[in-house]
């Protein structure tokens, strides 16, 4: 029985690795944004190595086992990178690569330490894995409602959420010092196979998701485009209603959700999502609101009459619940902090006044 389980386990893991490598090849040769392609390839290859490296048949295989273990060690970090790049649209930088690099260095070091120290480091890696995967799960869940790309929303729900759950489960088990591939007995073999089956399902689901044509899922961000009412009378009328509602200042409402805006407009939420994404070019609802909010913030920050208003007061007036999201959105749009932008704008205005006077 154990030998049968081991054989099945190896077959399932091979299928999983194959599906993931197909994803990596297809995405790399596709038309997605360069950084999204790179993050997908790194995560797919790392997960494939992790899945194969934990196969029971590799136990005791010496150098091969060690090599697969080290190469698959950064899996949580590369998974986090994928979530950050694809869902949060962050760039690949030394900061976003740091979790994966830290795990790679730690695991390489662990293979050279004696057992007590190696075991301590192993448990530390498991704690770090939990933190990284937990944060990835938070990013997945937090942006789901505001994501306007249908394929990406489906990926959040069906693929990455399940992947984070499986990874967290494995990391929690590892924190207790009992790794699936290291424990013995029939129960451990069954647990190994269960993990492999779960990863296979996720891998195959991922392959079907990424290999199917889903325009817009990982494409480069588009600039908002003005609508053409003549091209589609129905969309034109809806866009006019949306424009009127936004001109009325609803975007200033703190905590405004796409569901609440759809209710104000009297249209289904999915219709509003399609309208903002397909016709206006926005990839998430926050960007749609920020387009209004940041322009209003720039006008107020550059107004000498508003010089005594704090940045926080302006942010709250424009619908932000706290200063952090406003600072991040403003910097992403302008490349400067609100304070630095205000200083430059008011300095230029003062110079103009002196010249004209």
In a shared domain, residues 275 and 171: no
DSSP per residue, 18-74:
HHHHHHHHHHHTSSS-HHHHHHHHHHHHHHHHHHHHT-GGGTT-THHHHHHHHHHTT
Answer yes or no: is 98 within a domain.
yes
Q: Residue 313 has what pLDDT?
A: 93
Q: Phi, psi at residue 147, to the nearest 5°? A: -75, 125
Q: Residue 189 has what pLDDT?
A: 52
**CATH label of the domain that carries residue 157:** 1.20.1070
Answer yes or no: is 104 within a domain.
yes
Q: How many domains does the chain have?
A: 2
Q: Residue 101 has what pLDDT?
A: 93
Q: What is the pLDDT of residues 92-111, one digit of tens each?
A: 999 999 999 999 888 888 87
In a shared domain, residues 187 and 48: yes
Q: Residue 87 has what pLDDT?
A: 83
Q: Which residues pair with 147 in a beta bridge?
A: 284
Residues in the chain: 357
Tell me the whole-structure pTM to 2 decimals: 0.72
In a shared domain, residues 199 and 302: no
In a shared domain, residues 121 and 252: no
In a shared domain, residues 97 and 199: yes
Stretches where the chain sits below pLDDT 50 are: 1, 60, 177-187, 213, 215, 223-231, 351-357
DSSP per residue, 266-321:
TS-HHHHHHIIIIIT--SBHHHHHHHHHHHHHHHHHT-GGGTTS-HHHHHHHTT-S
Answer yes or no: is 299 within a domain.
yes
In a shared domain, residues 73 and 122: yes
**CATH label of the domain that carries residue 347:** 1.10.10.60
Between CA 143 and CA 158 the distance in angstroms is 15
In a shared domain, residues 262 and 201: no
In a shared domain, residues 104 and 205: yes
Among 170, 191, 211, residue at a domain's last position = 211
Answer yes or no: is 225 within a domain.
no
In a shared domain, residues 175 and 263: no
Q: Residue 216 has what pLDDT?
A: 53
In a shared domain, residues 202 and 252: no
Q: Residue 190 has what pLDDT?
A: 52
In a shared domain, residues 191 and 47: yes
Answer yes or no: is 218 within a domain.
no
Domain that holds residue 325: 242-356
């Amino acid at each position: 029985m154990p030998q049968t389980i081991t054989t099945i386990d190896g077959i399932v893991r091979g299928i999983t690795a194959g599906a993931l490598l197909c994803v990596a090849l297809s995405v790399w040769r596709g038309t997605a944004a360069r950084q999204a392609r790179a993050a997908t390839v790194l995560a797919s290859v790392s997960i494939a190595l992790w899945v194969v490296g934990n196969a029971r048949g590799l136990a005791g295989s010496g150098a091969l086992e060690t090599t697969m273990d080290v190469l698959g060690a950064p899996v949580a970090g590369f998974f986090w990178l994928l979530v950050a790049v694809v869902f949060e649209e962050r760039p690949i930088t030394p900061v976003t690569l740091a979790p994966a690099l830290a795990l790679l260095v730690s695991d390489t070091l662990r293979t050279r330490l004696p057992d007590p120290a190696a075991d301590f480091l192993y448990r530390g890696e498991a704690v770090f894995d939990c933190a990284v995967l937990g944060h990835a799960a938070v990013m997945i869940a937090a942006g789901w409602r505001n994501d306007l790309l249908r394929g990406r929303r489906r990926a959040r729900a069906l693929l990455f959420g399940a992947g984070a759950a499986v990874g967290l489960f494995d990391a929690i088990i590892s924190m207790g010092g009992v790794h699936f591939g290291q424990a013995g007995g029939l129960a451990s073999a069954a647990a190994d196979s269960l993990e492999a089956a779960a990863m296979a399902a996720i891998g195959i689901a991922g392959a079907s998701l990424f290999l199917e044509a889903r325009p817009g899922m990982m494409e480069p961000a588009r600039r908002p485009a003005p609508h053409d009412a003549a091209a589609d009378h129905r969309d034109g009328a809806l866009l006019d209603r949306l424009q009127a509602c936004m001109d009325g200042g609803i975007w200033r409402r703190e905590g405004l959700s796409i569901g609440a805006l759809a209710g104000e407009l009297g249209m289904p939420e999915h219709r509003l999502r399609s309208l903002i994404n397909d016709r206006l070019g926005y990839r998430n609802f926050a960007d749609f609101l920020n387009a209004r909010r940041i322009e209003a913030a720039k006008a107020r920050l550059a107004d000498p009459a508003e010089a005594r208003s704090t940045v926080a007061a302006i942010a709250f007036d424009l619908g932000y619940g706290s200063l952090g999201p406003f600072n991040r959105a403003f910097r992403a749009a302008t490349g400067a902090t609100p304070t630095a932008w205000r200083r430059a704008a008011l300095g230029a205005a003062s110079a103009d006044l002196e010249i004209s006077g």
